[in-house]
Amino acid sequence: MSDYVIKTQDLTKLYAGDKGCREITLQVPRGVVYGFLGPNGAGKSTFVRTLLGLIRPTSGTASVLEHPISSVASRQQVGYLPELFRYPDWMTGIQLLKFHADLCKVPHTEQKARIHHLLERVGLHQRGEEKIRGYSKGMQQRIGLACALISDPALVFLDEPTSALDPIGRKEVRELISDLRAEGKTVFLNSHLLSEVENVCDHVAIINKGRLVVQGDWRELRTVQAQVEVTISDVEDEWWASLSDLVTGWKRLSSWDGKSAWLLTLSEASQIPALVSTLTSRQIDVYQVTPKQQNLEELFMYWINKKEGAEHVDNR
């Protein structure tokens, strides 16, 4: 059994010559929550829909669960919640799940219990007998989640799974994703809501303008920049230029009573002691030094900017 559930090599899907995704090469390890991030229109959904065989790649190759994406077998153990979820509104929630259970060849003896369990899991246990046309957007997204999980898939694609949910619903979905990972399933999470995926993702890939910017373990990726917040006796902005061998970037956060707080970017995290001793040796009073861990949003902006040729991280 391969360690990777998804492998792509230069996978490209272009619409009208330029839109879509280009030359995406990535590997998704088994049993992780993989965040596929990018701004709106970056090509995230195009990539997922190509992996699911809904659209045909322009070039490149890909396999899902060790089967080429052109084969039906690649979708045997896959669940999918589309970004634009629409379900036949004349069905009830239970009928929809039964239909999908039939499509996935779930044994009839297991269907009732599984449907009941899933309705409970997505918070629709008392609404299963109602027609989908009476469901709110959030409820439709919940029934879509249940649909994606009906076959007990090894790999679940969730495309913006919380777009229609309230804060409580979002939290529940995050918990659900964590539960899926605990069960050994792989979750491919497509989102532009960085704060949503930050808490659940193990690996991330960032895509921008159709191209893969970076991929990997996101806790490793976020160490791309050593940043530190310092509170010192006030200095002018230009003063930091004299420490250019240590400090590659600086930004004033606030000033008060002859003190100022700065966000400094260092060449390496190991230079923090050297920074402190340098400041002290130059008669600068140091009140506070806090190494800063970057969040996913900052990481995202860093890589997007780097790809676009910016000199430093734009962490607005």
Tell me how far apart the alpha carbons of residues 79 and 68 are, in angstroms, rounded to a whole number. 17
Closest CA to 165 of 134, 135, 138, 197: 138
Q: Please identify, among the stretches 31-39, 94-102, 193-201, 230-238, the one whose residues bind other proteins according to the rule CB under 8 A.
A: 94-102
Contacts of 4 (CB under 8 A, 6+ apart): 27, 28, 29, 30
Tell me how far apart the alpha carbons of residues 201 and 210 are, in angstroms, rounded to a whole number. 21
Residues 102-141 vs other proteins: string with x where CB under 8 A? xxx-------------------------------------
Nearer to other proteins, 53 or 161 (CB): 53
Contacts of 234 (CB under 8 A, 6+ apart): 255, 258, 259, 260
Residue 144 interacts with other proteins (CB under 8 A): yes or no: yes
12, 21 Cβ separation under 8 angstroms: yes
CB 163 to other proteins: min, Å:
14
Q: Please identify, among the stretches 4-12, 53-61, 111-119, 271-279, the one whose residues bind other proteins according to the rule CB under 8 A.
A: 53-61
Residues 222-241 vs other proteins: string with x where CB under 8 A? --------------------
Nearer to other proteins, 73 or 241 (CB): 73
Residue 72 interacts with other proteins (CB under 8 A): yes or no: yes
Residue 75 interacts with other proteins (CB under 8 A): yes or no: yes
Nearer to other proteins, 71 or 223 (CB): 71
Contacts of 10 (CB under 8 A, 6+ apart): 23, 24, 25, 59, 60, 61
Helical residues (DSSP H) of the chain, grouped into ranges: 44-51, 93-103, 108-121, 137-149, 167-182, 194-198, 218-221, 272-281, 296-307
CB 274 to other proteins: min, Å:
54
Residue 56 interacts with other proteins (CB under 8 A): yes or no: yes
Q: Binding residues for other proteins, per CB under 8 A?
A: 49, 52-56, 72-73, 75-76, 78, 80-82, 84-88, 90, 99-100, 102-104, 144, 147-148, 151, 157
